[in-house]
Structure 1
């Protein structure tokens, strides 16, 4: 059974030889092939080669084009700085003042330098492992993109002070994200991941008003094109767990501070849970035996369609032995369903 078959069978509730390994790798992948992060973020070939390398080395069941949250923001016109081997920086929000929104225009993902680079990464991966390993593209959620353009603190105040202005901004963002998702699917993506980290920082009623409807629109477009949807919200989503399945996601990542058993009970048979052991305390800092134990505990409570992964990105510097222990635990588990 190859990775593509394993993932599709898992989502259909059919037999698999082992649970899928859905770890998110970015900085680890770049450093694994000896490349600085600035190259990983800006050259689709480096990103592609890094993902192919870690997929083969650690039995991942996907290759991915996730990198950083600033692809769309850069193409909207934000200034992004790329240190040689560190995370990218946005020194000044593009929408420093509310009046700046009037200058924000729709941008075609194919014409944007950074979005087109991700589209090229999808195509690069498709040429090499298409049909054998699922290819995951990535977009920002509309609210997350609004935060990238406005700044997190300013946007959180805007939700109270000028909600209509926020809705106007979200309309621009969601149209670009839908187009970006479609472009990646056309290039060969089987899955579109959506990051909406800011959604864990707002009240449930605000999530339902300012995040959920836009996640729904993006995922509806993804499904219309025949691809799958993965929702990733960093942080504690306990308060909004009942609403996450309404997004339309097929796979929902659950962070380590959330009760995975409760999430599985709330979600029911569908969507699939993914996660949720701690990427730092377990993958980075624990022993291989402790990794195996954490993987097993998640499989016991995550539900019949559970996807195994650390709850967020695999940190750079994670011992390869711990990643191998994760893969070994899944092989030892086999196709058994709790």
Structure 2
């Protein structure tokens, strides 16, 4: 009897082994990500062509900030990320204007709920769906640009008011995504890095907002904390109701897969540098990278890149990744 992607992923979350490790890969879908049907179509084609076990849904990184008036456009970025043409927070007084939003009234939010519905209809019950949600502070960063740290420190009450509005909206978004058929949440903690805030500062000023969002996701089977930047504040993973961790384990500040698993006590998604062999190497390098990641991670690892891979990654390398994972033993 064949093993489904869902069964492989759930086995990894439990630290168990099955016929082979589960795997996934993801990228942005510029232009397509502005329309639910187009995004779903591209995501399904990508998933089916590689025979992936888990579909991590990657919307435009700006989709949440656009609900509060940010404006963006795609200008050819190799990662598929949109550029900001307008950020609605230009000064501390602007934080006071942000209010909680009804998800159904915000096109950029309701679009992502529709993407989940379409994907569930097309892929059926055996493929876990993992949509991306950004932390409230990540949204604050996108709304204001790099001034967000100074405002958090110097205008705390105003930023807290904005964080409360964004958190309440994000909680409603999480519930809507789960109601549409998502199996969990890929929670992107973009500013959770020692290069941005200290661990103490993050815990005191930011963590309660993150905990409020993830509490809404606790019924879900997959609750992923993704640390995007170098020098990730991985100890936070033990203070959030998450059961999977993802981080830039190949970048400066690591840590590596084995150390990160020990530090967080969670299952892991990752293993391969999305900017290394997958994007710039050849098949032999990709295969070697997959095998090395599996040797370091073992049971409890869903093999993937540590974040979105570049749009320029050769298709042959993607298939080498998938074929190599299929050839791995279960332990």
Deviation at 1:84, TM superposition (A): 7.9
Contact 1:137 1:181 (C-alpha < 8 Å) held by counterparts? no
Kindly tell me the number of residue pairs found equivalent between the two proteins: 321
In structure 1, which of residues 4, 7, 15 is the aligned counterpart of residue 6 of structure 2? 4
Matches of 2:70 and 2:227 in 1, distance apart? Answer: 23
1:332 counterpart residue number: 327
Matches of 2:52 and 2:204 in 1, distance apart? Answer: 35
2:300 counterpart residue number: 305
In structure 1, which of residues 286, 289, 292 is the aligned counterpart of residue 284 of structure 2? 289
2:87 counterpart residue number: 93
What does residue range 130-279 of structure 1 map to in structure 2 within 5 Å?
130-151=124-145, 153-200=146-193, 201-224=196-219, 226-238=220-232, 240-255=233-248, 256-257=250-251, 258=254, 259-268=256-265, 271-279=266-274
Q: Which stretch of structure 1 is more off in the superposition, 252-261 or 161-170?
A: 161-170
Deviation at 1:82, TM superposition (A): 4.3
Deviation at 1:21, TM superposition (A): 1.0
1:32 counterpart residue number: none
Which ranges in structure 2 are unaligned for 5 or more consecutive residues? none
1:52 counterpart residue number: 44
Q: Which stretch of structure 1 is more off in the superposition, 208-217 or 316-325?
A: 208-217
In structure 2, which of residues 46, 54, 57 is the aligned counterpart of residue 62 of structure 1? 54
Contact 1:65 1:118 (C-alpha < 8 Å) held by counterparts? no
State the superposition RMSD in angstroms: 1.8
Contact 1:47 1:65 (C-alpha < 8 Å) held by counterparts? no
Contact 1:229 1:248 (C-alpha < 8 Å) held by counterparts? yes
Runs of 4+ displaced beyond 6 Å: none
Q: Which stretch of structure 1 is more off in the superposition, 303-312 or 111-120?
A: 303-312
Query: Could you report, residue by residue, the CA deviation over 1:218-256 in whole angstroms, capped at 9, with x for unpaired residues?
Result: 1211113x3421121212235x22222322222111211
Contact 1:141 1:194 (C-alpha < 8 Å) held by counterparts? yes
Matches of 1:20 and 1:210 in 2, distance apart? Answer: 36
Query: Could you report, residue by residue, the CA deviation over 1:168-220 in whole angstroms, capped at 9, with x for unpaired residues?
Result: 22111111111111101101101211112122222211221233322222121
2:102 counterpart residue number: 108
What SS does the corresponding residue of 2:276 show, helix, strand or coil? helix
What SS does the corresponding residue of 1:121 show, helix, strand or coil? helix
What SS does the corresponding residue of 2:72 show, helix, strand or coil? coil
1:34 counterpart residue number: none
Deviation at 1:334, TM superposition (A): 2.6
| 1:319 pairs with 2:317 | no
Query: Could you report, residue by residue, the CA deviation over 1:92-114 in whole angstroms, capped at 9, with x for unpaired residues?
Result: 32111111223211111111111
What SS does the corresponding residue of 2:245 show, helix, strand or coil? strand
Matches of 2:83 and 2:236 in 1, distance apart? Answer: 32
Deviation at 1:140, TM superposition (A): 1.0
Matches of 1:266 and 1:296 in 2, distance apart? Answer: 22
Contact 1:192 1:227 (C-alpha < 8 Å) held by counterparts? no
Contact 1:251 1:274 (C-alpha < 8 Å) held by counterparts? yes
Which structure has the highest helix share of the two? 1
What's the TM-score, normalizing by structure 2? 0.91
What SS does the corresponding residue of 1:279 show, helix, strand or coil? coil
Contact 2:21 2:299 (C-alpha < 8 Å) held by counterparts? no
Matches of 2:172 and 2:58 in 1, distance apart? Answer: 17
Matches of 1:276 and 1:203 in 2, distance apart? Answer: 26
Matches of 2:5 and 2:164 in 1, distance apart? Answer: 36
Matches of 2:94 and 2:157 in 1, distance apart? Answer: 15
Matches of 1:216 and 1:22 in 2, distance apart? Answer: 26
Contact 2:64 2:108 (C-alpha < 8 Å) held by counterparts? yes
